[in-house]
Amino acid sequence: MVFSLSRKELINYTINVLRTYNIRPRKRLSQNFVIDPHLIRTILSRVRKCRPKRILEIGGGIGALTFYLSDIAEEVVTIEVDKKLIKVLENEVALRKDNVKVVYGDILKAYKKLGSFDVIVSNIPYHISSKILFILTEIKFKEALLTFQKEFADRLLAKPNEPDYGRLTVMANFYFDIEYLGTYSPSSFYPPPKVYSTLIDLRRKRIDINIPIDFFQDVVRELFTLKNRKLKSAIRNIRSVKNLDDAKFLELIHELEKYVNRRVRTLSVGELIEIASTMYRYYKEI
Ligand code: SAH
């Protein structure tokens, strides 16, 4: 596979490979292959800026992106769960590009063994978007370029008090700086998915918190099940402080005075960290 970056050639390559290897794209595995040169160029120019040594691609597919990524980095590891596509990646890409390492496996199981990376790239298998996001908190990397289903990306990008703002938004922004890089129509992929896609850049944040992350996570989860309530009322349902005696509870509410009349859905990540940190002091005193 050597082709210039045009839509026509990307479509030709895709259709030829599918025919030659007798592959019917599987919906269950979100197999929608990129055929949009603009999307590829945007990803590549961003990746190039990172001057990466090692890139991880999640879900290599038929390797169109893999092929170009291999020109930018010293090594590209591409993991793919479908054995038929492994054959394509090996024959069409790895045979021509000796810095491409093809790994057969499920990212959800294999991620701990892959090592660390400068950049992670993925046209995310949409059915495992949130699981992949969680995994990214456990892999060492600097920057990730990810195409999500638009609705999922909207939740990552939402601002406090917007309808999409919720637990996912808070936790994702707790771990990452998130940047919007564009929305793409179904025709950017073959076969076209039923949904629009949004390209996003993630960078790991320095985590600035002096309470256990699990505690923060629990508080956020419990608060956001009541996200339309005022903090004062939502807080009564938080397991870790619910058993406080009345005096202590009032003391806590008093300490959180500037937040208690705010609706949970309006609280920013920074404010939630402050709230959880205050709660943690009381929690430890139980
Ligand atoms: N990167 C390619 C393919 C995108 S389609 C491109 O842009 O054209 C998503 C790919 O992820 C499919 O090839 C699918 O088989 C693969 N995939 C789905 N679930 C996976 C998993 N759990 N682990 C690894 N790959 C997976």
The 10s digit of each residue's pLDDT in 6-15 is: 999 999 999 9
Residue 95 scores a pLDDT above 60 = yes
Q: Confirm if 186 and 201 have CB atoms less than 8 A apart.
A: no
Torsion of CA 68, 69, 75, 81, to 10 degrees: -100
Residue 36 in contact with ligand 1 by CB distance below 6 A: no
The total number of residues shown for the chain amounts to 286
Reduce the DSSP state of residue 221 to 3 states and report it. helix
pLDDT (mean) for 271-284? 91
**Confidence class for position 4, pLDDT limits 50, 70, 90:** confident
Residue 277 scores a pLDDT above 90 = yes
**Confidence class for position 2, pLDDT limits 50, 70, 90:** low
Residue 1 scores a pLDDT above 90 = no
Helix axes 269-285, 213-224, angle to 10 degrees: 110
Q: Which of 33, 86, 121, 122 to mutate to test the pocket of ligand 1 (most atoms within 8 A of CB)?
A: 33
Question: Which residue has a Cα nearest atom 5 of ligand 1?
Answer: 31
pLDDT tens column, 165-190: 999 999 999 999 999 999 999 999 99
> In this predicted structure, what is the pLDDT of residue 238?
82
> In this predicted structure, what is the pLDDT of residue 285?
55
Per the prediction, the chain carries an average pLDDT of: 94
Residue 80 in contact with ligand 1 by CB distance below 6 A: yes
Please identify which residue in the block is written with the tokens 């999409």. Answer: 164
Instruction: Give the helix ranges, DSSP H, for the chain.
Output: 7-20, 37-49, 64-69, 83-88, 107-110, 129-136, 150-157, 167-175, 213-224, 231-234, 239-242, 246-255, 269-285
pLDDT tens column, 233-269: 999 888 777 778 889 889 999 999 999 999 999 999 9
pLDDT (mean) for 38-61? 97
Helices and strands in the chain: count of H runs, count of E runs: 13, 9
Residue 25 in contact with ligand 1 by CB distance below 6 A: no
| Dist CA 232 CA 245 (whole Å) | 16
Longest dimension (CA), the chain: 74
Residue 61 in contact with ligand 1 by CB distance below 6 A: yes
pLDDT tens column, 183-221: 999 999 999 999 999 999 999 998 889 999 999 999 999
pLDDT tens column, 108-144: 999 999 999 999 999 988 889 999 999 999 999 999 9
Residue 5 scores a pLDDT above 90 = no
Q: Confirm if 125 and 59 have CB atoms less than 8 A apart.
A: yes
> In this predicted structure, what is the pLDDT of residue 161?
97
| Dist CA 170 CA 160 (whole Å) | 9
Residue 17 in contact with ligand 1 by CB distance below 6 A: no
Question: Which residue has a Cα nearest atom 20 of ligand 1?
Answer: 81
